């Protein structure tokens, strides 16, 4: 990797401001952490800093408090869970800047961990306010960014602090970047990108970049309806981006010119209402009823996609096959996830909802890499420079 990591800098005894992505999902009823995988993903970096006698100052956002203090979005439960996972004491601060925080940092001994309060309780965080960034940076000697999930955001804690401190990557950031970089530039062939999700507009740049990077492109989810419509098919009441029909035709034409198979579902599950318990039918994509919504891919499409995936040595998956939030419309997504877990191939799950499905099904350990950053991985795969990566020190 061309960027420096914590192994390239002396952290012994230093105060290290470690940006992590502890924006974990919380149970709506109890407020308890429902999935701690993002906390676990940063443990190697934290353990390294402990082993090297650093004074560790952790900072993260949680949820969307929009610049206000929201009691059920405080970091204390996160710190408690981290303490359990690490089996070491973890202290907390009632804010992320200010006199109390500075006093707590002063008392840190080698190997101690302090978790700052939710960064987004301050509107200055998302505004990348220079004074806020300076105050954060003043707490430490070194800045380590291990929050790949926020690397596409130019916030005070992801780019602003780098103006004041030596800035390097943690092990999670390093792993994410190496996996994505290898997929884009040095993947084992043949390679395939399986793209789902609701809208073509969300994935335009990804589709365009993948046409030049992979050997096969598989497209499903809600966005498939726009491509089917562009080919002249009836898609019923499915969500269509009419202003993207021309672009869809252009992408299909480019795929032909690049000789990249661009495969869409050949059968789909349809329902007249998008709600749990709604009656469903499986129909060919050439015979979608005018009053129906496409809610999932059908069994023949699952078989087609799996046969293509089986041919490949490297697989990138980003986005669900249908409306997976409703269990009866999740069969396509779950079938694909299950099949990927059986393959002797490099399987990269591009974060977001795809990662949620894999984690919920207990398949994480059977994939080569499950990204912790849906938005960041999407931007990276589009070929876009990530602000939180650009600010890392170069090795050369």
Is there a domain that residue 395 lies in?
A: no
Listed in sequence order, the DSSP H helices in 239-386 are 245-257, 299-310, 331-340, 352-360, 374-381
* Closest among 220, 259, 172 to 353, alpha carbons compared: 220
Please count the CA atoms within 13 angstroms of the CA of 212 that sit on its side-chain side: 8
Alpha-carbon Rg for the chain in angstroms: 23
8 Å CB contact between 315 and 191: yes
Cα torsion 272, 276, 280, 286: sign: positive
* Closest among 265, 264, 257 to 212, alpha carbons compared: 257
pLDDT at 201: 87
Residues 244, 167 share a domain: no
Residues 185, 44 share a domain: no
Q: Which of 136, 151, 172 is the last residue of a domain?
A: 172
Q: What is the pTM of this model?
A: 0.93
Residues 315, 222 share a domain: yes
CATH number, domain of 90, equals: 3.40.50.1260
pLDDT at 396: 80
Is there a domain that residue 109 lies in?
A: yes
Both tokens assigned to 372: 């912790």
Cβ neighbors of 103 (< 8 A, separation 6 or more) are: none
Query: 339 lies in which domain range?
Result: 179-381
Is there a domain that residue 386 lies in?
A: no
Quote the CA–CA distance of 63 and 78 in Å, as a whole number: 12
Is there a domain that residue 161 lies in?
A: yes
Look up tokens 């789909």; give the residue. Answer: 268
Please count the CA atoms within 13 angstroms of the CA of 338 that sit on its side-chain side: 9
Q: Which of 157, 172, 187 is the last residue of a domain?
A: 172
Residues 193, 166 share a domain: no
Residues 183, 168 share a domain: no
8 Å CB contact between 348 and 183: yes
Residues 342, 226 share a domain: yes
Residues facing 268 on adjacent strands: 283, 297
Residues 264, 149 share a domain: no
Q: Is residue 187 classed as helix, strand or coil in its secondary structure?
A: coil
Both tokens assigned to 125: 């965080």
Q: Which of 172, 187, 215 is the last residue of a domain?
A: 172
Quote the CA–CA distance of 60 and 81 in Å, as a whole number: 14
pLDDT at 202: 87
8 Å CB contact between 108 and 55: yes
Cβ neighbors of 246 (< 8 A, separation 6 or more) are: 230
pLDDT at 71: 94
Cβ neighbors of 210 (< 8 A, separation 6 or more) are: 193, 195, 217, 316, 381
Residues 187, 67 share a domain: no
What is the set of active-site residues? 38, 199, 352, 375
pLDDT at 351: 80
Residues facing 58 on adjacent strands: 18, 115
Is there a domain that residue 229 lies in?
A: yes
Residues 232, 161 share a domain: no
* Closest among 117, 118, 113, 139 to 43, alpha carbons compared: 113
pLDDT at 55: 98
Residues 214, 113 share a domain: no
Instruction: Quickly list DSSP for 199-215.
Output: -STTTHHHHHHHHTT-S
8 Å CB contact between 248 and 230: yes
Is there a domain that residue 390 lies in?
A: no
Q: How many domains does the chain have?
A: 2
Residues facing 297 on adjacent strands: 268
Quote the CA–CA distance of 119 and 136 in Å, as a whole number: 10
Is there a domain that residue 367 lies in?
A: yes
pLDDT in tens, the chain (396 residues): 899 999 999 999 999 999 999 999 988 788 899 889 999 999 999 999 999 999 999 999 999 999 999 999 999 999 999 999 999 999 999 999 999 999 999 999 999 999 999 999 999 999 999 999 999 999 999 999 999 999 999 999 999 999 999 999 999 999 999 999 999 999 999 999 999 988 888 898 999 999 999 999 999 999 999 999 999 999 999 999 999 999 999 999 999 999 999 999 999 999 999 999 999 999 999 999 999 999 999 999 999 999 999 999 999 999 999 999 999 999 999 999 999 999 999 999 998 889 999 999 999 999 999 999 989 999 999 999 999 999 999 998
Is there a domain that residue 33 lies in?
A: yes
Residues 101, 204 share a domain: no
Secondary structure (H, E, C), 51-114:
HCCCEEEEECCCCCCCCCCCHHHCCHHHHHHHHHHHCCCCEECCCCCCHHHHHHHHCCCCCCEE
Quote the CA–CA distance of 284 and 273 in Å, as a whole number: 19
Residues 195, 47 share a domain: no
DSSP letter (8 states) at residue 159: T
């Amino acid at each position: 990797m061309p960027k420096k990591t914590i192994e390239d800098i002396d952290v012994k005894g230093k105060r290290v401001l470690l940006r992590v992505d502890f924006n974990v999902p919380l149970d709506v009823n109890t407020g308890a952490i429902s999935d701690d995988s993002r906390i676990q993903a940063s443990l190697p970096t934290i353990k390294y800093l402990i082993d090297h006698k650093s004074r560790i100052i952790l900072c993260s956002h949680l949820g969307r408090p929009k610049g206000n203090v929201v009691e059920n979005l405080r970091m204390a439960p996160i710190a408690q869970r981290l303490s359990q996972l690490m089996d070491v004491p973890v202290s907390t601060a009632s804010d992320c800047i200010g006199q109390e925080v500075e006093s707590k940092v002063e008392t840190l001994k080698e190997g101690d961990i302090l978790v700052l309060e939710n960064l987004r309780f301050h509107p200055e965080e998302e505004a990348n306010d220079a004074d806020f960034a300076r105050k954060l940076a003043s707490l430490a000697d070194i800045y380590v960014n291990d929050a790949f999930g926020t690397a596409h955001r130019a916030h005070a804690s992801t780019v602003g602090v780098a103006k004041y401190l030596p800035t390097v990557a943690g092990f999670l950031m390093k792993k994410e970047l190496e996996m994505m970089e290898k997929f884009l530039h040095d993947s084992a062939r043949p390679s395939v990108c399986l793209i789902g999700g609701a809208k073509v507009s969300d994935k335009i740049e990804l589709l365009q970049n993948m046409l030049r990077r992979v050997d096969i492109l598989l497209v499903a989810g809600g966005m498939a309806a726009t491509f089917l419509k562009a080919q002249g098919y009836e898609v019923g009441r499915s969500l269509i981006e009419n202003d993207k029909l021309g672009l869809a035709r252009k992408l299909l034409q480019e795929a032909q010119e690049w000789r990249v198979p661009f495969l869409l579902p050949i059968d789909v599950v349809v329902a007249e209402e998008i709600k749990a318990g709604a009656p469903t039918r499986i129909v060919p994509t050439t015979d979608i009823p005018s009053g129906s919504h496409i809610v999932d891919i059908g069994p023949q499409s699952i078989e087609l996609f799996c046969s293509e995936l089986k041919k490949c040595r490297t697989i990138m998956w980003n986005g669900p096959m249908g409306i997976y939030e409703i269990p009866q419309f999740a069969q396509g997504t779950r079938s694909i996830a299950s099949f990927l877990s059986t393959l002797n191939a490099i399987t990269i799950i591009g974060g977001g909802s795809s990662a949620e499905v894999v984690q919920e099904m207990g398949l994480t350990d059977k994939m080569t890499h499950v990204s912790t950053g849906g938005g960041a991985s999407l931007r990276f795969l589009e070929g876009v420079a990530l602000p939180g990566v650009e600010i890392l020190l170069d090795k050369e």
